[in-house]
Structure 1
């Protein structure tokens, strides 16, 4: 048996709160669609326990379960931009600020000091 993952045992407070909110929202989306946990589990091809764990915001629930639930409720499209590196404006700004801006002469180098 491997070493326990500290993130799964005690995630940072902000992560814990975000997962709890996502879980509540997923549960509300399921109830609004008048779907049972069993129906959703069958639709995404997982067990009932995985759905319950996601709806309770457990950190040990795989990201694939959360993504599949978003897909099942037709809520995945707003999150597709997260996978688009061009949408990461903060990351792009950081990368641009770190670029090497040193000007070099074109042509061959020589040893003439």
Structure 2
């Protein structure tokens, strides 16, 4: 959901990569439905494993509770967003998680947009 919001709200200003420490075999259908309600289609996305290469290629690394399973490299901007896991939850439980993620994504976009450029 975070990647969907980031791609939708930032457009081509920010390159988005999405991966997880223990990715499921498919995206949670309730998350797909909740994002559709917000006007964002994430049906084409597929869960992927987070790799050290993906972290190396990123300036910002946003984790959602992966703890020690996520690669940590110097020089990256790390943020951990401790949201409830939407896995196995229905749309009514996923909507508040979706809305909280959107708020964090909007804050991240503002932070990135206001950072001085080297």
TM class by shorter chain equals under 0.3
Q: Would you tell me which structure has more strand in proportion to its own residues?
A: 2
Higher fraction of helix: 1
Give the TM-score taking structure 1 as reference length.
0.24
TM-score (norm 2): 0.24
